[in-house]
Amino acid sequence: MNDIWGSSKSDQAAMPAIHGVTMPRWGLSMIEGRVADWLVPVGGAVTKGQDVVDIETEKITNVHESPAAGILRRQILNKGDVAPVGALLAVVADPAVSDAEIDAFVSGYVLPAADSADEGTSGPTPKQITASGVLWNYLDIGKADGPVVVLVHGFGGDLNNWMFTWPALEGAARIIAVDLPGHGASGKRIDIRGLDELARKLLTLLDALAIQNAHFVGHSLGGAIVGLAALARPGLATSLTLIGSAGLGEEIDDDYLKGFIAAERRKDLQPVVAKLFADQSLVSRDLVEGLLRFKRLDGVTAALSTIRMATVDQGKQRVSLLPDLAGLHIPVRVIWGKLDRIVPATHAGGLPSSVEVHLFDDAGHMVHMERAKDVNAILAKAIAG
């Protein structure tokens, strides 16, 4: 025991702990990011996981954390600087580490090569598979032999909605993030009457991928779908995490759904999308532009209309998971932003006592993006069991 302790100590002495804070990769299309603001000054103490810098991508701004505890010894980039994914932003180290060693670390830092040969994109590449006549676009990344986590986005979203989620989970789990039919790069032709049919389509995809056990995570519409899938195939889901989820009450902002479908111009879409976030500064021009580009694709308007009809009837949700939730006998977690304007957070009350509820102040419907760190911690716990 002493030997082990001793050797690890001598290792530390030989290799002082210097940690680089590097430009994160949020989303498939992120190539570079901008330092929007420094949250910790040079010389400031940081804990592991503390927010140190605000990073702005072309779509969204989010906080980025320190990978370790120590002193923020250097800020390599200034506020406003743009750098590629993987670039060194700051250096965190123990006060005992000399300035010369820090300088050597900085000058010796090599930008990691892009892990995809595809010109201009450096992120993971989604795959496509056809299961029961549906073309699915999905991301399959992370620890190949780890527990499987299935991430399902909400109405009008796509797998990129999990851009802040997968970097936190990919070390511990195999992540399957899907584009629902009618969304992202999945097939746009859908013919369904109820959400149970979408849940069944998801099950055929998981069958095609030979997945036998998975932690189900769904946001909004995706929550209702993973819930229905878990109920339809007992034994498949090992846990269920529902975020701002449909299927847990009657109310839903049908004007949001209708507005999202109808908007053809940026001016019309902007106020609709603004309903998703508590922090309006997150609704960037490029976020709206990305959604407009999605909505321009052939078949999207029809697909979204079909899904809305399957979701809502006379302004009320058609699907309820509530009667069957207690009978699932797996850990169920519910996460909500208290300022959710699409599906009200009051639905988190009145759930069976076995359900673990997490409510967040100052977060809206996109709580997994607005409070990514906290939501990721809950998901990590769910995966660890």
Cα–Cα distances (Å) from 90 to 21, 44, 58, in that order, read 5, 12, 21
| Cβ count within 10 A of residue 145 | 5
Contact status: 117 vs another protein (CB under 8 A): no
Q: Which of 365, 260, 252 is nearest to 311 (CA)?
A: 252
Contact status: 119 vs another protein (CB under 8 A): yes
Interface of this chain with another protein, residues 39 to 98, rule: CB under 8 A: none
Query: Shortest gap between Cβ of 238 and another protein (angstroms)?
Result: 33
Contact status: 120 vs another protein (CB under 8 A): yes
Q: Give the nearer residue to another protein in terms of CB position, either 28 or 206.
A: 28
Query: Shortest gap between Cβ of 119 and another protein (angstroms)?
Result: 6
Interface of this chain with another protein, residues 186 to 225, rule: CB under 8 A: 188
Contact status: 293 vs another protein (CB under 8 A): yes
Query: Shortest gap between Cβ of 284 and another protein (angstroms)?
Result: 10
Contact status: 29 vs another protein (CB under 8 A): yes
Q: Which residues contact 383 (CB under 8 A, 6 or more apart)?
A: 147, 149, 169, 172, 173, 215, 239
Query: Shortest gap between Cβ of 300 and another protein (angstroms)?
Result: 8
Number of residues near another protein (by CB under 8 A): 16
Q: Give the nearer residue to another protein in terms of CB position, either 188 or 308.
A: 188
Q: What is the torsional sign of CA 350, 352, 354, 356?
A: negative
Contact status: 329 vs another protein (CB under 8 A): no
Distance CA 107, CA 373 (A): 30
What stretch of H or E contains 288? helix 285-296
Q: Which stretch binds another protein (CB under 8 A): 37-45, 194-202, 224-232, 264-272?
A: 264-272
Query: Shortest gap between Cβ of 266 and another protein (angstroms)?
Result: 6
Query: Shortest gap between Cβ of 197 and another protein (angstroms)?
Result: 23
Cα–Cα distances (Å) from 25 to 28, 67, 260, 307, 309, in that order, read 8, 15, 28, 31, 36
Interface of this chain with another protein, residues 266 to 285, rule: CB under 8 A: 266, 285
Both structure tokens of 219: 């946001």
Query: Apex CA 88: angle with CA 87 and CA 90, to 5°?
Result: 150
Q: What is the torsional sign of CA 116, 118, 124, 129?
A: negative
Q: Which of 245, 239, 235 is nearest to 367 (CA)?
A: 245
Q: Mask 140-179, x = binds another protein (CB under 8 A)? A: ----------------------------------------
Residues that bind another protein (CB under 8 A): 29, 118-121, 185, 188, 264-266, 285, 293, 296-299
